[in-house]
Structure 1
Amino acid sequence: MEDEPQVKLRFGLSLFHCRACLRPLRPPTAKCSAGHVVCDACRGSHAPECAGAAAFVPSLDVDVYVRGARLACPNAEFGCESCCVYYQARDHERACQWAPCYCPEPGCNASDSPARLAAHFAATHAWPVTDVSYAKVHRIALPRGSALHLLVSREDSQVFVVSSSALGAGAGAAAAAAAAAALACVRANGDAVAGAPRFRCTLWVQDARGGGNVARVTFEVPSSDLSRGFVAAEQGMFLAVPPELLRDAPGEAPDLMVRIDKAASAAANSPITPPA
């Protein structure tokens, strides 16, 4: 049907909703003797209109329309071009990769799809962007202040953000403060969608002076739409970098090592050994 000329029509929602469960009709459908249509699975829980109905029969003519009725994704303004079968539209919306996320920079009200938002971060706020590959180690400068460092997967264009913030009582004191570093997947609804791709990451900082000291952490990457900002020290899991490792290069941000794995393959990977 997608190859045929398309036309946009308006119908009352009740025509495409089951009279028993009130959800979108899914084929196969059935019609009661009173002429009301329900999902075939709802025969045992009749709608009030079907009370006293003696029998249900397959409604093949309704199935044709139910399979053909399509709805444009509400995220079309953010770049999604999907037009889903109506009864599957809610499932698509919950998993849509174009669902808008938000700029965490104070005073900036920008919102867009993750890919477009990454371009905004780079162009408007001059935050660095690094192309990364899964299961590969990448070296970036530990972000400072309110800045983020963006990581964009070469494989699927998934956007990740890395942030750091002062940690502990040393912040603002004469002594150098420890730092927290965290990573998140920029995705509006990833944690709520069953079967959505999951990631694990390993972050570490090592002693540039060759002392052998290493701070390292591995965790499942959370998803965030960044609507509440992204402060590393406020995340559930983060890398705590002690002051000793922050003093390796006076005036320069120490190197942060980052590796992101798809969760399905992360368990099979051998433990990560920091490079010499």
Structure 2
Amino acid sequence: MAEQNKRSSSAAENGHAGGKKARANVEVKQEEEEAEEGEMSQEEESAKTGPLVVATAMDDPQIDVRIAVGLLHCHACLLPLKPPVFKCEAAHVVCSGCRGNHGQLCRRAAAYAHCAELDAIVGAAKVACAHAPYGCDSYVVYGAAAEHQRACPCAPCSCPDPGCGFRGSPAALLGHFATDHPWSVTQISYAKPCRLAVPLPRRCHVLVGEDDRAMFLVVSPSPCGVGVGAAVCVACVRANGDDAAAAQYKCKLWVEVPTNSDNMVMMTSKVRSSDLSGGFPAAEQGMFLVVPPELLHEVSGETPILSIRIDRAAPAIAKPTTPRARSLRRLQ
């Protein structure tokens, strides 16, 4: 009887273990089937939307490559591509703003597809700044290279002295002025006046802002076109001087004789920028202070004093533009 009970108990245990093993096999099989279904769904989704773009980590190794410039330019406007990038049915790659106009050039431009892979390439392709020979070590996204070069602090400027061919960044030019030319270099504080001698023709004072190291030339151009008097003008030494955003400073100039303050001339204006490629700034190309001969040749023989105060110009605040305002402008 005891022996029979023992065999029954053993059989029950084996049956229970076998049930557990069977259930485990079923669960493993279900997990494998779910994994296969997940892979199939990913493949189907990939077939619909295209291959996934894997984000590049910031610490990934970098390489220098050469690539045809045309591959990074829009086929419609011919400008550098910027994300988002699209492709028409004829495989022409265009920027988002050209999708409407590209249809006038391509008969198969009825539909466009977003190129996420090209977005990643265009957004990551970097080039060395064109001003690298002058000290800029920046690598800039290709589509933004032009904007960087317009504002690059290493963009070269020229020495205005006739016969001197030096060309370099503003910082290098400042060192050149101090070592190779007899021009005084004075550090100034913004919003505080500085007293100088009236510069002689084709000579200048070099001023350096103590905060941002901006460089200014105070010069008396020759000929000045004001008879026997003198003209004094101020320029910020900066490349891309024709840029609309170049006027970052304003100045006040006045000339007086120390013992005769009744005779004084004064002028306030924005400071123009120049890369000095054409030599010293010309008086007729901007605002200048006219110093009459009565102040230059006082009877007392005293030397007139030129005072200058440079302030940072307040940045212009753009007025908000509403959709309603834009619509009204189009109707006008």
Question: Common fold, TM-score beyond 0.5?
Answer: yes
Quick one: higher RCO (CA 8 Å, sep 6+), 1 or 2? Answer: 1
* Higher mean C-alpha displacement, 241-250 vs 213-222: 241-250
Shift of 1:249: 9.7
1:86-138 CA distances to partner (integer Å, 9 max, x unpaired)? 00101111222222111111111111111211110110012111111222211
Corresponding residue of 1:45: 101
Q: Percent identity?
A: 50
SS of equivalent to 2:208: strand
Tell me, yes or no, if the aligned pair for 2:170 and 2:215 is still in contact at 8 Å: yes
Tell me, yes or no, if the aligned pair for 2:87 and 2:114 is still in contact at 8 Å: yes
Shift of 1:227: 1.8
Tell me, yes or no, if the aligned pair for 1:197 and 1:262 is still in contact at 8 Å: no
Instruction: Give the greater-gyration-radius structure (CA).
Output: 2
Shift of 1:248: 5.3
Tell me, yes or no, if the aligned pair for 2:195 and 2:306 is still in contact at 8 Å: yes
Gaps of 5+ in 1: 171-176, 267-276
* Higher mean C-alpha displacement, 246-255 vs 140-149: 246-255
SS of equivalent to 1:150: strand
Distance 2:282 2:79 in 1: 41
Shift of 1:165: 4.5
* TM-score (structure 2 length as normaliser): 0.71
Corresponding residue of 2:313: 263
Aligned partner (choices 240, 243, 262) of residue 189 of structure 1: 240
Tell me, yes or no, if the aligned pair for 1:143 and 1:253 is still in contact at 8 Å: no
Tell me, yes or no, if the aligned pair for 1:19 and 1:47 is still in contact at 8 Å: no
SS of equivalent to 2:212: coil
Matched to 1:221, the amino acid is V
Distance 1:104 1:250 in 2: 35
Distance 1:113 1:70 in 2: 22
SS of equivalent to 1:245: helix
Corresponding residue of 1:114: 170
* TM-score (structure 1 length as normaliser): 0.84
Distance 1:49 1:205 in 2: 63
Gaps of 5+ in 2: 1-56, 317-332
Corresponding residue of 1:179: 230
Corresponding residue of 2:202: 146
Shift of 1:210: 3.1
Tell me, yes or no, if the aligned pair for 2:192 and 2:309 is still in contact at 8 Å: yes
1:99 aligns with 2:155: yes
Report the aligned-residue RMSD: 2.5
Tell me, yes or no, if the aligned pair for 2:247 and 2:270 is still in contact at 8 Å: no
- The structure with the largest strand share of the pair is 1
Distance 2:202 2:174 in 1: 16
Corresponding residue of 1:24: 80
